[in-house]
Amino acid sequence: MNKLFTVLFLSIITACVQREKPQNEIEMNLEFDKYTNTFIEQFWNYYPDWATNVGYHQNDSVLLVPTETTRGLQEQFAKEQLSILHNYQLTTLTDAQKIDYHLIENQLNRILWQLNEEKSFQWEPSQYNVSGLIAFMLSENYAPLEKRLRYIQARMQNIPSYYKAALENLLNPVEVLRILAIKQNTGGIAVFEEDLKDSILASGLSELEKNEMLQSVKLSVESIRGYIDFLTKLSNPTPRDFRLGKELYDKKFGFDIQSIYTAEQVYDSAQLRKEFLHNEMYKITQKLWTKYFGNQPIPENYLLAIRRMIDTLSLNHVTPSTYQQTIASQLPDLVDFIKKKNLLFIDETKPLVVRKEPAYMAGVSIASISAPGPYDKTGNTYYNVGNIENWTAERAESHLREYNHYILQILNIHEAIPGHYTQLVYANQNPSLVKSIFSNGTMIEGWAVYTEQMMLENGYGNNELEMWLMWYKWHLRTVCNTILDYSVHVKGMTEQDAMHLLMNEAFQQEAEAHGKWVRVCVTSVQLMSYYTGYKEICELRETLKRKNDQHFDLKSFHENFLSYGNAPVKYIREMMLK
Q: Which residues bind Zn ion (CB under 5 A)?
A: 445, 448
> What Rg, from alpha-carbon coordinates, does the chain have?
26
Strands 382-385, 353-356: parallel, antiparallel or unpaired by DSSP? parallel
Cα dihedral 192, 196, 201, 206 sign: negative
| Minimum distance, C-beta of residue 415 to Zn ion, in the bound complex (Å) | 7
What is the closest distance, in whole angstroms, from the C-beta atom of residue 335 to Zn ion in the complex? 19
Which one, 124 or 445, has the nearer CB to Zn ion? 445
Return d(Cα 216, Cα 210) in angstroms, integer: 10
Minimum distance, C-beta of residue 318 to Zn ion, in the bound complex (Å)? 10
Shortest separation between residue 507's beta carbon and Zn ion, angstroms:
17
Give yes or no for a contact between 344 and 560, defined as CB atoms under 8 angstroms apart.
Answer: no
Residue 462 carries which DSSP code?
Answer: T
Q: In a 10 Å sphere around its CB, with 0-12 CB exposed, 13-18 middle and 19+ buried, how is residue 460 labelled?
A: buried
Helical (H) or strand (E) element with 383: strand 382-385
Closer to Zn ion at the Cβ: 200 or 448? 448
- In whole angstroms, the minimum distance from the beta carbon of 336 to Zn ion comes to 23
Q: Taking the CB of residue 431, how many other CB atoms lie within 10 A of it?
A: 11
Smallest distance, Zn ion to C-beta of residue 413, A: 11
Q: What is the DSSP code (8-state) at residue 63? A: -
Task: Pick between residue 472 and residue 474 the one whose CB is nearest to Zn ion.
Answer: 474
Q: Which is nearer to Zn ion, 248 or 371 (CB)?
A: 371
Do the beta carbons of residue 482 and residue 270 sit within 8 Å? Answer: yes
Q: Are 242 and 176 in contact (CB under 8 A)?
A: yes
Question: Nearest CA to 434 among 121, 91, 81, 143?
Answer: 81
Comparison of 134 and 410: residue with beta carbon closer to Zn ion: 410
> Whole-number minimum distance, CB 448 to Zn ion, in Å?
4
Residue 323 beta carbon to Zn ion: minimum distance, rounded to whole angstroms: 12
The nearer residue to Zn ion, 126 or 422, going by C-beta atoms, is 422
CB of 185 to Zn ion, least distance (A): 28
Least CB distance from residue 349 to Zn ion, whole Å? Answer: 24
In the complex with Zn ion, the residue whose CB is nearer, 53 or 526, is 526
Q: Which is nearer to Zn ion, 307 or 420 (CB)?
A: 420
Indicate the DSSP class of residue 248: H
Which residue number, 151 or 450, has a Cβ lying nearer to Zn ion? 450
Q: Which CB sits closer to Zn ion, 448 or 544?
A: 448
Residue nearest to Zn ion (CB): 448
Q: Please report how close the Cβ of residue 558 comes to Zn ion at its closest, in angstroms.
A: 17
E-state strands within 285-423:
353-356, 367-370, 382-385
CA distances from 45 to 73, 306, 320, 383, 506 (A): 10, 54, 47, 32, 45
Give the three-state DSSP class for 1.
coil
Dump the DSSP string for 345-369: ---TTS--EEEEPPGGGTTS-SEEE
**Closer CB to Zn ion, residue 111 or residue 344?**
344
Least Å from the CB of residue 313 to Zn ion: 12
Do residues 414 and 451 make contact, with C-beta atoms less than 8 angstroms apart? yes
- CA–CA dist 560, 29 (Å, integer): 22
Give exposure, 286-323, as e/b (b: 16+ Cβ within 10 Å): eebbeeeeeeeebeeebeebbbbbbeebbeebbebeeb
CA–CA distance, 451 with 418 (Å, rounded to integer): 6
| Three-state secondary structure call for residue 184 | helix
358: preceding bond cis by omega (within 30 degrees): no
Burial class (CB in 10 A: 0-12, 13-18, 19+), 358: exposed
> Which residue lies nearer to Zn ion by CB, 181 or 448?
448
Whether residue 259 contacts residue 532, with contact meaning beta carbons closer than 8 Å, is answered with yes
